[in-house]
Amino acid sequence: MSTTETNNTGSFAFIVSDGPKIPRSARTVIRKQAMKDVGIARRKRGNYGRANQRQVLESVADATPIVDSDPSDISVPCAEDASGDSSFTLANIDEYSPRPSRVTGATRRSLVPFDLLSSSMSSCPAYQSARSRFGVELSDLSVLTNFNVGKSTIAIIASDPSRLITLLGRHQWSYLEFVPARYGHSKCLTAATDALLARVQHVLSPNKSLGTNCGRFYGRALRTLQDALMDNKTAVEADVLAATQLIALHELLDGSHSAAWSHHVEGSARLIKYRSPDRFRTEYDKALFAAHVGAVVSECLVNNTSCYLKQPEWVNVFNSLKQDTPFLTDRSPLAIDARLAMFGIPGLWREIDEVVNSPGYYVCAPMDTLESRGRQIHQALVDWLEDYYAHCVRFSLVQPSNCELSLRRELFGAVIECLSLVKRLLATVCESSRLALEPEIQALAQLILDLQKQPSYKHSWLFSGHEAGVAYTMILTKDQWEEDVSGQDAHVRIEAARKRYNAWSKTLRMTD
């Protein structure tokens, strides 16, 4: 299935709902329905009475990073009207407005309190020289290696370069922290680093001269990377993989290179598979693998392809990233498990798409198999919610750090988003459950929109946009999925099922 790039190109479509809002009296009912799966899972696992999970959900969803936080780092959503409803628009989903098309002088002056060179002092003289030359510290870009970075990031930064400022200095575990010590020792890594630093400098302070330099550094980076890849011995080196990913970050910040970004994500996947799982043992290698995972899952969802990460050997590599820490981090088992649960969704979706649009839909033998796979993913997501609630209860007497609160919100929203997707896929292959599943899907969609109202960190646009896009798509297609055609003949039922599935799936992927 081909994708169509627009100004809002992303992992999922940004969709605005101007329809009627759900009454407050109905929200209590649908929220209870939304957590029905969790309750069933608790009963099966024998821990139903462990805690009032409904209250835990509210306390987590309502938790805001106001305590011990920098007020300038918090974005406050629009106020509700007298009826208690918010008028949702794209501006409400994102964090701030107005959005200048370029970084203004005022915006650049606002960077003064934040010294781009103060975050990390490398002992490598060659890197120190490059850092001073470009005025950018590489480790301050670590959030660009976040799981949620994808094509939507390209479109947003291209339309509003000041968005990049919201990401600077937000440190997370990343291969970027290993690059300064290796700068100058690998030709392709050095060239790719220069290209990225030049691009960041140009985004923050755009001018024609810097733009010319960006093109020159980018061309050099591509040439040196190609030379390294031509040698079978150097092609498997970690620095070559790092150079590939650094070039992809350059393309992420250049709106004219969205196709090139996708190409390098695909190239990274081929290079990682060529290296084999056994080569991902050092912290540097593991960080490179981790930075690649989110982009691959995103591209597979957009392009309707299976995800190789679902294979057991790569699942083992991703599991090897886990580290037990007192508080939640990107390497905590809770974070790793949330993302592991997503690996199977692209492949399941692709196979369901093929079956639905095949002549033998509804009589295909794979239907039962697809339903079973869908329920396994569904259960993994529900089990994760159980573990998430347990984590929140365990630390309920401790004020979480701002980093933990942000990661909690990111992971919780992603799992709720995926749960709604999987329920729709189950409703596609299990007609007998469709009408019962739809209220649960609508409840999850409303929960996602409710999350958008909460105060949030300025960098939350990395994940909040496609969350809301998925939610709006669920709401916009609600009527079709609630239609009861049980009294119709088989041909009518099959055509209705195919029509509602394609309307939802193609709207979500922005395809024809």
Residues 219 and 146 in one domain: yes
First to last CA, the chain: 9
Domain boundary among 256, 288, 321: 321
Answer yes or no: is 99 within a domain.
no
Of residues 116 and 98, more confidence is placed in: 116
Answer yes or no: is 170 within a domain.
yes
Domain boundary among 292, 321, 350: 321
Number of domains in the chain: 2
Residues 149 and 282 in one domain: yes
pLDDT tens-place string over residues 128-163:
999 999 999 999 999 999 999 988 899 899 889 989
Residues 413 and 507 in one domain: yes
| Predicted pLDDT at 343 | 97
Q: What is the mean pLDDT of residues 365-369?
A: 78
pLDDT bracket for residue 287 (50, 70, 90): very high
Residues 133 and 275 in one domain: yes
Residues 342 and 314 in one domain: no
Residues 462 and 343 in one domain: yes
Using an 8 Å Cβ cutoff, are 463 and 413 in contact?
A: yes
pTM (whole model) above 0.85: no
Residues 366 and 436 in one domain: yes
Write the single-letter amino acid at 255: G
Q: What is the mean pLDDT of residues 235-243?
A: 96
Residues 275 and 351 in one domain: no
- Judge whether residue 13 has pLDDT over 50: no
Residues 302 and 343 in one domain: no
d(CA 127, CA 133): 10
- Judge whether residue 117 has pLDDT over 50: no
**Count of CB atoms within 10 A of residue 46's CB?**
8
Answer yes or no: is 69 within a domain.
no
| Predicted pLDDT at 372 | 95
Using an 8 Å Cβ cutoff, are 237 and 243 in contact?
A: no
Answer yes or no: is 508 within a domain.
yes
Domain boundary among 321, 343, 364: 321
Residues 368 and 441 in one domain: yes
Answer yes or no: is 92 within a domain.
no
Answer yes or no: is 229 within a domain.
yes
Answer yes or no: is 298 within a domain.
yes
pLDDT tens-place string over residues 21-71:
444 544 444 444 444 544 554 555 554 444 343 333 333 333 333 233 343
Residues 288 and 195 in one domain: yes
Handedness of CA 474, 476, 482, 483 (dihedral sign): negative
Q: Please give the residue range of the domain that contains residue 337.
A: 22-63+331-512
Residues 241 and 298 in one domain: yes
Answer yes or no: is 109 within a domain.
no
d(CA 505, CA 434): 16
Q: What is the mean pLDDT of residues 470-490?
A: 93
